[in-house]
Structure 1
Amino acid sequence: MNHASLSAAELDAITDAAAHWCMRLHAEDCTAAERTAFEQWRSAHPLHAEEYQAMREIWATADHLPRPELAPVVPFPVKPAARSRALRHYAAAAAITLLALPAGAWIGWEEGWLPNSYEHFESSTAMSQVTLGDGSQVELNLGTELRFMNFKDERRVTLVKGEAFFKVQHDSQHPFVVRAGSGQTKVTGTQFNVWKYQDQVKVTLVEGSVLVTSDASDTGSGYRLGPGMQAVYHKGDYEPILSQTYAHDTSLAWRNGKLILDNVTLDQALPLINRYLEKPLRLADGSTGHVRISGIYNTTEVKRLISNLPKVLPVYLTQDKQGNTVLNRIALPPAKG
């Protein structure tokens, strides 16, 4: 199968997800909803099933490995120096064996490609605050999912979806990296926000400094942000777009449970609205996207906002074949003359 269209960051994310699902499906508290979500993930792309099968095989192997009292050495069929896709299989899957084997002085840990801890966090209908294994504090917006792995040479977070505010525990020798979409944000200790919607990512820095790149595979470069700056990138961008936030920027209003739309077009508002909806709101055409909207809304009541839009904007609602709500602009009458 040709996977040339997928970036290194996307391949890593799939391997990471496969390891996560392998652990969850073997856990006693795995729910029916999680199993349904797994089936949806596995069928979404042929590579998902391929990666998951590799994880199952390694899980089965780990089950038969001896459990010595001394720290074990786990043999890998790929040399540590070879950073091939096969190595990603074994490096990610080795995290699974942490459940089956005692912790110790792993060869993988010493080489820097095996984490010594793995954590998964998810918020659905309520915001939450969590503490990562390194002591860093994270606030999760509604509908957010992230994973944390601690490697010898870096602390790594994968923001699967949603939005999170990070207060990173300072460690100059142990960088903190957040992977989101096609890029990543790298820090040693600071406060910043990362929002991911589809293939768009926005990083907002509050305190300290961060290094942002739109291509996570290019680890040797990036753009440094200072406090009050933002970086936005999409998949395929050569570099992120940098900007300075204004005095009344509303990017972090979600931390107070608010969605603030300050005279923005519906084109700009939809990504901010859709992150709180199970089914995305759509625009009928380009002219509808030019309609402007303002207002302050509770993030837990965004569904009510949709039904009220025709009361405050020149639009009406329809549904497409997928059951998504569609906004249609009401045409203005022709000018008399």
Structure 2
Amino acid sequence: MNKRETAQTINDRAAAWVARMDREGSDPAVRAELKAWLAGDDRRSGAYFRAKAAWHMLDRASVLGAGQTQPDETANSPGFSRRRLLWGGGVAAAAAAALVLGVVGMDFPTTPDQQIQTAIGEIRRVPLSDGSLAAVNTQTALNITMEPEIRHVSLETGEAWFQVAKDRTRPFVVEVGDVRVRAVGTAFAVRRSADGVNVQVTDGIVELWRVGDEANIQRISAGAHVFIAPEKQIVPVTAAGETIDKTLAWRTGQIVLDGDTIAEAVAEFNRYNVRQIEIADAALGTQKMIGRFRTNEPDAFARAVTTLTDARAEIGADRIILSRN
């Protein structure tokens, strides 16, 4: 029977792996080798996370406390001596602080495993390798990286809803500029626009913070949403209820109007269609609409406007013009 690895041996090897990943982490073969090592013992993931947390804290704060370096046999890859992890008082404190913050202070990977990009009007449901599901809205770009200790999504543009597979050892973090949204097993949507970032939670709880303001982490529960404007503090969480179901109707290819102005509805339809709607009369745009439409049927919306208001629609091949009769 094979002798069970000691905790110290696992810690030493985890530290060596962190150093190697820092140097060779972009190599798919090295990543696969690390994944295989982590799968060999349930204790290894925790040790690897602690080692990486300490490593990042050293990088960020140059924390070098008292203690001894690891034995030479743990530095089993070339160049490890460039930055040794010190397993003494200073680094223990750094690791503890990093573990309290979890993934808040960690750098994210730069080489994505998967890239998703949708065209105008395209809505996709994409299964992720960890068992999660992403519903990706029109004109959206995502970069996804699955690491042993973290699942990372970078939302470059657009909007996506995530149904996150439960895995408490691997937080699921969405990066939107300097905003971070963290979940373990939940469902939430994130939209990035010129005005800021909107987060809506449909199940469970997420944590939200801005880089540089990690002391003010907000917890958002299902049925609520929060908006983060550029270079401003995070606004208080707002209960949304049925509003979330309406704004996320795009997941089934629909636009739901419930007292929205015609101008607001037009802006929404124009997100999904090459054939754009124009409003020739500003006063017409202030009138309100109720209805449910397909995202790819702006002409049906235009005809509804003419039926419900004193308006006419010029429906052409490349644009639709709404004006008063």
Q: TM-score, normalised by structure 2?
A: 0.58
SS at match of 1:134: coil
Residue 222 (structure 1) aligns with: 217
Write the distance in 2 (CA, Å) between the matches of 1:279 and 1:72.
53
Residue 90 (structure 1) aligns with: none
Structural mapping, 1:1-337, within 5 Å? 97-98=26-27, 103=31, 114=109, 118-124=113-119, 125-151=121-147, 154-180=150-176, 183-213=179-209, 215-247=210-242, 249-278=245-274, 281=277, 287-302=283-298, 304-306=300-302, 309-315=305-311, 330=324
SS at match of 1:255: helix
Distance 1:206 1:225, change over 3 A: same
Distance 1:266 1:150, change over 3 A: same
- Percent identity, aligned pairs only, is 23
Residue 55 (structure 1) aligns with: none
SS at match of 2:247: coil
Q: Amino acid of the residue matched to residue 237 of structure 2?
A: L
Offset of 1:199 from its aligned partner? 3.1
Q: Which moved more, 1:309-318 or 1:269-278?
A: 309-318
Q: Amino acid of the residue matched to residue 143 of structure 2?
A: R
Name structure 1 gaps, 5 residues minimum. Answer: 1-70, 77-93, 332-337
Offset of 1:158 from its aligned partner? 1.7
Residue 71 (structure 2) aligns with: none
Offset of 1:238 from its aligned partner? 1.7
Write the distance in 1 (CA, Å) between the matches of 2:271 and 2:236.
21
SS at match of 2:159: strand
Write the distance in 2 (CA, Å) between the matches of 1:198 and 1:148.
22
Write the distance in 2 (CA, Å) between the matches of 1:291 and 1:275.
20
SS at match of 2:296: helix
Distance 1:306 1:181, change over 3 A: farther
Distance 1:118 1:266, change over 3 A: same
Q: Which moved more, 1:172-181 or 1:112-121?
A: 112-121
Name structure 2 gaps, 5 residues minimum. Answer: 1-17, 36-47, 57-106
RMSD: 4.1
Q: Is the 8 A contact 1:182 1:235 kept in 2?
A: no
Write the distance in 2 (CA, Å) between the matches of 1:182 and 1:310.
43
Q: Deviations over 1:170-222 (max 9, x none)?
A: 23232211123552321121111223343343222121101234x34434423
Q: Amino acid of the residue matched to residue 195 of structure 1?
A: R
SS at match of 2:290: strand
SS at match of 1:232: strand
Q: Is the 8 A contact 2:261 2:285 kept in 1?
A: yes
Distance 1:283 1:184, change over 3 A: farther
